[in-house]
């Protein structure tokens, strides 16, 4: 698989070939292959337990037990955003953003990143003083201040209310357009995937079962005919056909 080039050029930023991850007798990733191009926004869907977070952890270098006959190549500069912001409660917002950033202009960069996510003026606040959406924006600022070549996001909006989620979609698109990292976004939300991504993958049986280029012009309208076709195709791949659950 992974034959897609998506109209983008250059060597892939992420190259995965024949990746295997077993937990005891259970094979969760079974020879998975995948490429992500520079600046490409890829969303990853899959049923619960299909191995999405397992793959993301492998790409984030958080798992040293992956194996396989192929290769796992990722850039050195990568950032991860999780469902919960994971801010240190005893550090102020700006300190959280620049934590571990060993650069003379770290504070200035942190301020710029906070401005980009709309949190200017909150530099000295404590995380507990921020809403869930604001905390997640701090987490985004913390990721982007490192200017990553790869942004890995594991259901980053899963804990947010619907309106905040939509606002975060816009923000993430803007930030990605500006910073141009390659992105792998794990999500359960088919519409989120089709709204944001250049390409959507479906993980099933330990491998990429579908690889669909989203050829819908931006800004994307959920009511667009092509949007609906792609949504239906993805739901089919997820085993969630649009058949009614109850007899009508």
Ligand X SMILES: Nc1ncnc2c1ncn2[C@@H]1O[C@H](COP(=O)(O)OP(=O)(O)OP(=O)(O)O)[C@@H](O)[C@H]1O
- Give least dist CB 42 to ligand X, A: 15
- Residues contacting ligand X: total by CB under 6 A: 10
Print the binding letters for residues 202-241 with ligand X: x by CB under 6 A, - otherwise: ----------------------------------------
CA torsion 176→180→183→185, rounded to 10°?
10
Distance, in Å, from the CA atom of 235 to the CA atom of 229, rounded to the nearest integer, reads 10
- The answer to whether 50 contacts ligand X (rule: CB under 6 A) is yes
- The answer to whether 28 contacts ligand X (rule: CB under 6 A) is yes
The nearer residue to ligand X, 63 or 123, going by C-beta atoms, is 63
The nearer residue to ligand X, 48 or 242, going by C-beta atoms, is 48
The nearer residue to ligand X, 57 or 231, going by C-beta atoms, is 57
- The closest of 38, 75, 30, 77 to 55, measured between CA atoms, is 30
DSSP state of 177: H
- The answer to whether 51 contacts ligand X (rule: CB under 6 A) is yes
Residue of the chain from 34, 53, 82, 111 that contacts ligand X (CB under 6 A)? 53
- The answer to whether 79 contacts ligand X (rule: CB under 6 A) is no
Distance, in Å, from the CA atom of 217 to the CA atom of 41, rounded to the nearest integer, reads 14
- Give least dist CB 79 to ligand X, A: 19
Task: Give the range of 52-60, 73-81, 132-140, 212-220 binding ligand X by CB under 6 A.
Answer: 52-60
Contact of 173 with 39, CB cutoff 8 Å: no
The nearer residue to ligand X, 56 or 216, going by C-beta atoms, is 56
Residues sharing a CB contact under 8 Å with residue 153, sequence separation 6 or more, in sequence order: 80, 81, 183, 184, 185, 186
Collapse the DSSP code of 43 into the 3-class scheme (helix H, G, I; strand E, B; otherwise coil) and give the result. strand
Angle of helix 132-144 relative to helix 106-116, nearest 10 degrees, comes to: 130
- The answer to whether 54 contacts ligand X (rule: CB under 6 A) is yes
Looking up tokens 């088919």 gives: 190
Residue of the chain from 39, 46, 156, 181 that contacts ligand X (CB under 6 A)? 46
Q: Which residues bind ligand X (CB under 6 A)?
A: 23, 28, 46, 48-54
């Amino acid at each position: 698989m992974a034959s897609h080039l998506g109209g983008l050029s250059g060597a892939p930023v992420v190259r995965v070939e024949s990746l295997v991850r077993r937990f005891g007798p259970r094979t969760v990733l079974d020879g998975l292959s995948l490429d992500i191009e520079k600046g490409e926004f890829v969303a990853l869907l899959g049923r619960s337990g299909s191995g999405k977070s397992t793959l993301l952890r492998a790409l984030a270098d958080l798992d040293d037990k992956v194996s396989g006959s192929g290769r796992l190549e990722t850039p050195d500069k990568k950032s991860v955003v999780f469902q919960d912001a994971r801010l240190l409660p005893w550090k102020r917002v700006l300190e959280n953003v620049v934590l571990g950033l060993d650069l003379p202009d770290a504070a200035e960069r942190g301020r710029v990143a906070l401005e980009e996510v709309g949190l200017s003026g909150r530099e000295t606040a404590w995380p507990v003083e921020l809403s869930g959406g604001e905390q997640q924006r701090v987490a985004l600022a913390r990721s982007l201040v490192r200017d990553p070549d790869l942004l890995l996001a594991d259901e980053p909006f899963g804990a947010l209310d619907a309106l905040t989620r939509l606002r975060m979609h816009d923000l993430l698109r803007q930030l990605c357009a500006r910073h141009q990292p390659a992105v792998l976004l794990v999500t359960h939300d088919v519409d989120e995937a089709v709204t944001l991504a250049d390409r959507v993958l479906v993980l099933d049986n330990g491998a990429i079962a579908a690889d669909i280029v989203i050829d819908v012009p931006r800004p994307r309208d959920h009511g667009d005919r092509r949007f609906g076709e792609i949504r239906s195709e993805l739901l089919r791949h997820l085993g969630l056909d649009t058949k009614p659950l109850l007899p009508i």
